[in-house]
Amino acid sequence: MWRIRSSITRLPRAEVPPEVPARIHLDKNENPFDLPHGLKKELCDELSKIPLNRYPPAYPVELEEKIAEHLGLSPENVIVANGSDELIGLSLKVFDGNHVVISSPTFGMYDFFATLEGVKVIDVPLGENFELGDVEAHAEGARAIFICSPNNPTGNAHPRKRIIEVLETGAPVILDEAYVEFARESNIDLVKDYDNLIVLRTFSKAFGLAGARLGYAVASEETADYLRRVIPPFSVNSLSLKAGEFMLEHLDYVRHVIRYILGERGRLYREFKEYSYPSEANFLLMRLDAHNFLLKKGIAVKKLGGRLDGHIRVTIGKKEENDELMSALREFIDLTMN
């Protein structure tokens, strides 16, 4: 008689943002822009040349080389996988230890993959201003300390000095930089000095390839080599690999979109500064319990709970989408705050 592993029966299903009927979707931190028609046709022409009856490359060396060139690193520092989410779980297979450390409120998949691995989760909540707490107190025996910077859902980036302090404990650190293209600085260069660091990146946000599920990790050559050992061959499909290569060949377009999003983020923040937290990501955290009100207006935003109950996370959209959001939020504030 077959049996389900007891650890699976205790594991909650991963939280997935619900698909809600709305005209404007500002709830998943997606890039609001699909590729313009000309670029998309060019990409489709490239995709049409791929023989779908053949497996993709066993290991995506070509894309890793292009990413390394983009970052000014060696290809041996880069590991490509199916989204940065997959790399969270794979990273936990590399390091040894009996617990992981997270800092809530933060990205929920750290807890999910740790639980899946059967590893105890210790939560050291972020401080009053969403700063890192004393995670070092739990460094001994840690399989990983997760740091999300800029942090989802708060939007703040953690100071480089603070990240180095955590690295100096010697504990494995998984630094999630999914939103770093919208921030003032990256800490990816620290992989040259710390073998205990893995930095996660994604093509889903600034590069606009959320539908391709493509991410990568950056680490020292030694740590990257260990990470490669737990990745099965043929793990990333040919279409996603080509899409990633294509976007790296069109960085001027990517930078244009980033500037646009930053401009709109600033506009939205200035308008609602009284209710918003500063952000270095492509979203704003707002002290407004406006989720249901906005949904009735056809605008979907992320409803938050726990410590952030009564808050919403708003993805930066196109100007016309943001205009509708701003109008609806003004109406909500007039009705509930005045």
**Residues 99-133: tens digit of each pLDDT:** 999 999 999 999 999 999 999 999 999 999 999 99
User: Residue 20: is its pLDDT beyond 80?
Assistant: no
Clarify whether residues 291 and 223 are in a common domain: no
200, 217, 250 — which closes off a domain? 250
**Residues 229-269: tens digit of each pLDDT:** 999 999 999 999 999 999 999 999 999 999 999 999 999 99
**Residues 42-54: tens digit of each pLDDT:** 999 999 999 999 9
For residue 279, the domain's CATH number is: 3.90.1150.10
CA-closest candidate to residue 148, choices 301, 316, 247, 283: 283
- 88 falls in which pLDDT band (50, 70, 90)? very high
Clarify whether residues 74 and 165 are in a common domain: yes
What is the total count of domains within the chain?
Answer: 2
Q: Which residues contact 145 (CB under 8 A, 6 or more apart)?
A: 100, 101, 135, 138, 139, 166, 169, 171, 172, 173, 174
Q: Which residues contact 302 (CB under 8 A, 6 or more apart)?
A: 17, 27, 28, 153, 291, 312, 313, 314, 315
CA-closest candidate to residue 332, choices 270, 289, 300: 289
The residue behind tokens 């690295």 is 167
**Mean pLDDT in residue range 130-147:** 98
Reading the block at residue 305, the tokens are 């709970």
Report the 10 Å Cβ neighbour count for 259.
10
Respond yes or no on whether the N-terminal peptide bond of residue 105 is cis (omega within 30° of 0). yes
- 59 falls in which pLDDT band (50, 70, 90)? very high
| DSSP letters spanning 95-108 | S--SEEEE-SSS-T
Residue 320 lies in a domain: yes
Query: DSSP label at 36?
Result: P
Rounded to whole angstroms, the Cα distance separating 276 from 270 reads 9
Percent of the chain at pLDDT > 90 equals 92
Clarify whether residues 151 and 288 are in a common domain: no
Q: What pLDDT shows up at residue 21?
A: 76
**Residues 317-330: tens digit of each pLDDT:** 999 999 999 999 99
The CA-based angle 294-300-305, given to 5 degrees, is 85
Clarify whether residues 28 and 152 are in a common domain: no
Clarify whether residues 246 and 256 are in a common domain: no
221, 250, 279 — which closes off a domain? 250
Task: Tally the C-alpha atoms within 13 A of residue 334's C-alpha that lie toward its C-beta.
Answer: 6
**Mean pLDDT in residue range 180-185:** 97
Sign, CA dihedral 155-160-166-172, equals positive
Q: What pLDDT shows up at residue 149?
A: 98
- 17 falls in which pLDDT band (50, 70, 90)? low
The residue behind tokens 């990256």 is 186
**Mean pLDDT in residue range 196-222:** 97
Output the average pLDDT for the chain.
95
Say which residue, 126 or 336, is predicted with more confidence.
126
**Mean pLDDT in residue range 80-103:** 95
User: Residue 15: is its pLDDT beyond 70?
Assistant: no
Element spanning 218, H or E: strand 215-219
Clarify whether residues 58 and 90 are in a common domain: yes
Distances (CA, A) of 184 to 159, 173, 269: 11, 21, 17
Clarify whether residues 78 and 168 are in a common domain: yes
User: Residue 19: is its pLDDT beyond 80?
Assistant: no
Rounded to whole angstroms, the Cα distance separating 213 from 222 reads 26
191, 219, 250 — which closes off a domain? 250
Residue 279 lies in a domain: yes
Q: Which residues contact 13 (CB under 8 A, 6 or more apart)?
A: none
Q: What pLDDT shows up at residue 337?
A: 74
Residue 159 lies in a domain: yes
Q: Which residues contact 39 (CB under 8 A, 6 or more apart)?
A: 250, 253
Clarify whether residues 219 and 97 are in a common domain: yes
Clarify whether residues 192 and 256 are in a common domain: no
Per the structure, the complete domain to which residue 161 belongs is given by: 52-250
User: Residue 12: is its pLDDT beyond 70?
Assistant: no
Residue 1 lies in a domain: no
Residue 11 lies in a domain: no
Three-state SS at 89: helix
Q: What pLDDT shows up at residue 7?
A: 65
Clarify whether residues 60 and 200 are in a common domain: yes
Q: What pLDDT shows up at residue 22?
A: 81
Rounded to whole angstroms, the Cα distance separating 109 from 107 reads 6
User: Residue 286: is its pLDDT beyond 80?
Assistant: yes
The residue behind tokens 């504030």 is 333
Clarify whether residues 323 and 210 are in a common domain: no
Long-range CB contacts for residues 285-289, cutoff 8 Å, separation at least 24: 285/153, 285/154, 285/155, 285/311, 285/312, 285/313, 285/314, 286/311, 286/312, 286/313, 286/314, 287/311, 288/312, 288/329, 288/332, 288/333
Phi, psi of 293 (to 5 degrees): -60, -45
Clarify whether residues 56 and 112 are in a common domain: yes
N- to C-terminal Cα distance for the chain?
A: 65
Do residues 231 and 79 lie in contact, with contact meaning Cβ atoms separated by under 8 Å? yes
Q: What pLDDT shows up at residue 121?
A: 97
For residue 82, the domain's CATH number is: 3.40.640.10
